Structure 1
Amino acid sequence: MKTFRSLLFVPGSRPDRFEKALAAGADSICIDLEDAVPPQDKAAARAGVIGWLEANAESYPACAIGIRMNGLDTLDGLKDIIAFSETEARPNFFMIPKASSYSALANFQQLLHLRDLDQKRVALWAVIETVAGLKSASEIAGTCGSRGGVLFGGADYSLAIGTGMDWEALFHARTTLATEARVTNGTLMDVPYLNVKDEEGLRAECARVKALGFDGKSCIHPSQVAIVNEVFSPSEAEVDWAKRVSEAFKSQDGRAVLLDGKMLDIPVYLRAERILSKAGIEF
């Protein structure tokens, strides 16, 4: 699965919004059965989402479709597992909220395997939004693997540590994830920006988390998608630099090379290749 720049959440209880979400231009959408659905609507939402997946199984768009399950330690989470094990409908990924340990995710994977889900297609995502989850970030990321990813759940994490969601309060968690979640090449996605009318604030926060090493940012409104995609896409200047680095290295058979007065070695070349890959350029 490719690295996502944008992931748009849509409530599982609002099937009228599913097609609109798919048309928003996000790299992925995540139909939410957890926080976005009140307790009294969860059974209907679960059945409606499965029915929608079954009806659209043969016509998935390029946009990846995921399902955020209810917590695995809740009754609704267990009902989610049973319901999805009894249908042939398959999302592109399952997202597990409040992931705090390797064991819970491993058990979930085992249940999927026992029910013969196609593991080559269904990826695993974890939301790290607790102190325990942050401490186990490397194990959790390793369980999700290179085809899955980690989402920073900043709202719940800020509640857990007793702070607001300002940049300084969440800086430690973000930098920890930028390191610990890189045990694989999976995607690392940031928490949504909650003020949907503040475009400049969204753009600025995207730039800051990109600088930390995040691959993208989740969204709670379609209007946020274009800005997120723009910031997390390589700029023309970055692509031009990457092309020149790649060309220089290939001309020197992979040896260290001088470019613009700077000595460039293998790590720089690999960074250039990653930029070209994100831009969808074969070079």
Structure 2
Amino acid sequence: MLMATPRSYLFVPGNRPDRFAKAAAAGAGAVIFDLEDAVGPEAKDDARSHVAQWFADGGTGIVRINGADTPWHGDDIAALRDLAAEIMVPKAEPAGMAEIAARLTARPLMALVETVAGLAALRDTVKVPSLTRLAFGNLDFSADARIPEGSPALDHARFELVLASRLGDLLPPIDGVTTALSDPEAIARDVRHARSMGFGAKLCIHPAQVAPVNAGFAPSDDEIDWARRVIAALENANGAAVQLDGKMIDRPLIDHARLILGDIA
């Protein structure tokens, strides 16, 4: 069954074309071909060429470009101008996002929020045309904010991403990475926490993380059953007030039920 919207986003280094097909087959909702952090300065040109070839050959996915303050940014934009790739913008802020939106007209953009300045300006970022989703760059944000990695204080930033996503009428945001590669419980714990805060997906840095992330963000059997009963009760009500299990079902709950069922379509 295909996911209606991605729950997992798997990074693959742009200078490792030998891993592209494996990443695409790993079961992630989307693959992010990385031209930024995963690629050293000496390999930037080769990575850009490999990724451009992947898309030219019919491949799909997202490309994380280099930031506007780097010498590789302009070449990244030029290489992707005629390719059908969604763009992930690192250290996203409104002005930089708007400039990319103007240069790559109607191209889907994803904003990676990983600086204090980016978080402070988030309510303006969500107004940028073509923005589809926010993602939390938890490690870089932690360093920039001088907050220890894993601190509960980072949840304040997460909550702001959730609110801004709703204000911008975007998909629920994407949580940042879990650095533990071989600890399924760590992944499951982080997914449970992110989902409880309103996130709808997670960034992955290893194929082994994909399955537990997909499972963790999937609606439970109980949630699906509840949603189906809500919609059935609504259809049978013929416009009258709807009750289910002795409780009044109002518009927010109906919308939530539809969201659950849309996630398994």
Q: Give distance in 2, aligned partners of 1:41 and 1:158.
A: 27
Asked whether the 8 Å contact 2:4–2:264 carries over to 1, the reply is no
Matches within 5 A, 1:237-248: 237-248=222-233
Residues 255 and 215 of structure 1: CA distance in aligned 2, closer, same or farther (over 3 Å): farther
How far does the alpha carbon of each residue in 1:161-213 deviate from its partner, in whole angstroms, 9 at most, with x for none? Answer: 11222141311111111112222133410101110111101101101111111
1:185-224 superposed matches below 5 A: 185-224=170-209
User: What is the Cα deviation at residue 256 of structure 1?
Assistant: 2.9
TM-score by length of 2: 0.94
Whole-Å Cα distance in 2 between the matches of residues 110 and 210 of structure 1? 33
Q: How does 1:47-126 map to 2 (within 5 A)?
A: 47-54=49-56, 56-57=57-58, 60=59, 65-85=61-81, 88-91=82-85, 93-100=86-93, 102-113=94-105, 119=106, 122-126=107-111
* 1:145 and 1:186 in contact (8 A); partners too: no
Contact 2:172 2:198 in 1 (8 A): no
1:262 aligns with 2:264: no
Q: Deviations over 1:227-259 (max 9, x none)?
A: 000011111111000000111112113443221
Work out which of the residue numbers 236, 244, 265 in structure 1 matches 2:221. Answer: 236
Shift of 1:139: 2.0
Distance (whole Å) between structure 2 residues aligned to residue 124 and residue 170 of structure 1: 24
| RMSD of Structure 2 on Structure 1 (CA) | 1.6
Give the conservation status (yes or no) of the 8 Å contact 1:8–1:26: yes
Please point out which of 134, 155, 165 is paired with 1:150. 134
Q: Distance between the aligned counterparts of 2:241 and 2:197, measured in 1?
A: 26
Measured at CA, do residues 252 and 258 of structure 1 come closer, stay the same or move farther in structure 2, by a change above 3 Å? same
SS in 2 for 1:9: strand
Q: Distance in 2 between matches of 1:155 and 1:49?
A: 25
In the alignment, the residues of structure 2 paired with residue 40 and residue 210 of structure 1 have an alpha-carbon distance, to the nearest angstrom, of 38
- The answer to whether the 8 A contact 1:150-1:188 is kept is yes
What letter matches 2:22 in structure 1? K
The answer for the alignment partner of 1:159 in structure 2 is: 143
CA–CA separation in structure 2 for the residues paired with 1:31 and 1:234 = 28
Give me the identity figure in percent: 39
Show the counterpart of 1:22: 24
Matched residues in 2 for 1:149 and 1:213: separation? 13
Contiguous gaps of at least 5 residues in structure 2: none
Matched with 1:116 is none
Q: Using the TM superposition, give the Cα deviation of residue 89 of structure 1 relative to its aligned residue in structure 2, in angstroms.
A: 2.8
Contact 2:101 2:130 (C-alpha < 8 Å) held by counterparts = no
Which SS does the other structure have where 1:75 is aligned? coil
- Give the distance between the partners of 1:222 and 1:189, measured in 2 at CA: 17
Number of positions where the alignment pairs a residue of Structure 1 with one of Structure 2: 262
Code of the aligned partner of 1:75: P
**Partner Cα separation in structure 2 for residue 144 and residue 2 of structure 1:** 22
Map of 1:163-182 to 2, 5 A cutoff? 163-182=147-166
Are the counterparts in 2 of residues 256 and 266 from structure 1 also a CA contact under 8 Å? no
**Which digits, 9 at most, give the CA deviation of each residue in 1:85-123, with x for residues without a partner?**
3xx3322x11100012x221111111123xxxxx3xx31
Using the TM superposition, name which of 201-210 and 165-174 deviates more: 165-174
TM-score (normalizing by structure 1): 0.88
Give me the whole-angstrom Cα distance separating, in 2, the residues matched to 1:242 and 1:131. 38
Shift of 1:2: 4.9
**How far is 1:145 from its partner?**
4.7
Deviation of residue 128 (structure 1)?
A: 0.4
Q: 1:273 to 1:67 in 2, by over 3 A?
A: same
The residue that corresponds to 1:10 in the other structure is: 12
Q: Secondary structure at the match of 1:263?
A: strand
In 1, Cα distance between the equivalents of 2:103 and 2:142?
31
Question: Separation in 2 of the partners of 1:184 and 1:71?
Answer: 25
